[in-house]
A and B are shown apart, each in its own frame.
Chain A
Amino acid sequence: MQTLSNINVQLNDAPLDQDAFLVIDNVSKVYPTPSGPHVVLDGVNLSVREGEFVCIIGHSGCGKSTLLDMVSGFRQPTEGQVRLQSEPIVKPGPDRMVVFQNYSLLPWFTAFENIYLGIDSVWPDKPKAEKEAIARDHLALVGLAEAADKKPKQLSGGMKQRVCIARALALRPQVLILDEPFGALDPITREELQEELLKIWTEHQVTVLMITHDIDEALLLADRLVMMTNGPAAKVGEILEISFPRPRNRSRVMESPLYYELRNYALDFLYRRCAHDDVE
């Protein structure tokens, strides 16, 4: 066993803070199948502070996306409850904006119109000029002021994902939910967008829940890394505190000795203790 001198790990039997900003309270998800019930998640507990950046990591099929779907409201837990500011989540809404991996921009609208659509839906009574200003500001925030009138087909993958982030942030969500947002991007674009997200999060202090497959991404961005056990019947295995001082930048994080301890700890969890049976 490793010495945990510098590493702060929260085990899954820690008591749940019932009054936290976002509470995932003993959530289970079971799907009935012809061959009996299929348990995807089994008693997941997690509390998230306001303004916290939480990454969730785990092998494919461990129900990470199912868990986030219950925070965004697309699915309901079979047992347990997800609460945002003590209110149970029952349906999707603009207070919990989702950035999907596959962009989900409407192809018949320009970048600007895609962002404006959300603003217009959430604040129908604001004057048009103000709504347009919000859309323009958020395009500028992600560095796409020039691309306002381009259709998604004319944008690269990285640019599309920037538009999605702008669309989400423009609605001032309480929680920003990202489901492997950079998974489909090339490594260089991915690093750029990670740094951009870090900057935006520092400025907005929005609460972020993000699924990732990339330990380095989590170590750069997150305050805590939630490591899930393997499915079926997945639960929170351990939660790793990532205590690098903020503001962070990639080189300073990577130079820290703690970086390798955390990285090795997470790798050990994922590839030894929770090794996937069907991985070669």
Chain B
Amino acid sequence: MDQPVIEMLHITKKFSKVVANDDVSLSIGKGEVVALLGENGAGKSTIMKILYGLYRADEGVIRVDGVPCRIGSSRDAIRLGISMIQQNFSLVPAHTVTENIILGNCRGLIDYRRKEREIAALAETYGFDVPAGELVRNLTVGAQQKVEILKALYLNARVLIMDEPTAVLTPQETDRLMEFVRQYVQKGNSVVFITHKMREVMDVSTRIVIMRGGRICGAVKKEDADETALSRMMIGHSLEHLTKPAGGAEEKPVGFSVRNLSIRRKSEPPLLEDISFDIHKGEIIGFAGVSGNGQQELCEAICGARPVTDGSVVLDGRDITHLSIRRHIESGIGYVVSDRLRYGMVMNLSIAENLLLKESYGPKWRKHGLLDRKRLNRYAEEVIRRYSVKAPDPSVPGWSLSGGNQQKIVVAREVEAGKKMILFDQPTRGLDLGAIHYVHKTILEEKAKGKCILLVSTELSEIFTLSDRIVVLYRGKIAGIYKPSEVDAGKIGLLMSGYRNGEEKR
């Protein structure tokens, strides 16, 4: 066997008392695409950040081309030909593409015009349509990722590490990324994918390494891999299979409807335009689309958090368009927000207090005009048990929970508040498989109770698994409404990226 480009031997890394990597050994060969598969917190990113010099290992050796190396900073890593694309891109939005790419890689005076030409030429060789002089904040997420890749190419990286690269891409963009990866490794370079999505892993990688709890718990050649076995290795046990109750929802009465809803702003493109749809009782409507195409605005409009320019929102025969947020909550709408850190929870409050957030003014938890802590705690304990939240007791603060457990608290609260309807805006974003499974199960349970459910997701697989009907949003407009049986992911993907019905990929 050839000399591997990278060998990481017996790496251990601790953050205060938490062991993030425990005796991890990993090698990366020339021309190889390694998929590093594992749940959140399995230590995938940590081990790669050590390789890229962002973290320092407590123990272990890194060899590059067989030579032991000390990688003390990213600069050392870059010098050795290692580049890493972070999950949340590390770009400066207010600067141009060129400025971003040459940051830290130039000396003295900068001839911006010449650099721009260089970078345009580099983009050309890989067929990236990224304008070198454009400000990064004006680019789509897909294009921003290309800027990150160009940054690595500009540094002549021969080992490219990508942390969850497809999380933000449309299916077509993902295809193009995979195309690039193939092209890139053919030249003798190597790629490491950090991911928790199995499907794309199977597609492009040559070897799959599975991590769990900070250790490597398996490595398989792509030929020998099968999805069920991989997922079992990832989470340590197998998941019960979810079954979606067969159709029938459309025969039930309409519980919720939106008519000609628009949100316009002065001299800017409308956020939402002429949105109309119904949700039957016990139906799940899935909104697909690249994030930022009006999904969040739609949810906010329905919940009364954003004023509506035109149109109406009707819940159970009652027009709720212009009611206040509080009246919306009282009318029985639950809303699981996409950004739970900002809008979903107050991290310094306890679990119990977070559960009461939306009813703090109501009489429910009141006793002699004061908060009935005892009853609230009992209720919180019950939620912790029912949703199997990993928390010692209801008094621990929100920030002490993992992302998945925080989301369980939010979901519990909204399911309770949403007597008639629940909106789930990207309910599984950033969660690990176990938590995702839990959220999905809850959504289906609520559907079975006859609630109207609106699900927004950027994960097409999630949309297809759960929805009774699929709506595609593109730039604030509905690009189509389908039954899952009528369409496939490819078609939805095209609609998501703005191709109109029937129009094919150019």
Query: Do A and B associate with each other?
Result: no
Q: Which B residues contact A (CB, under 8 angstroms)? A: none
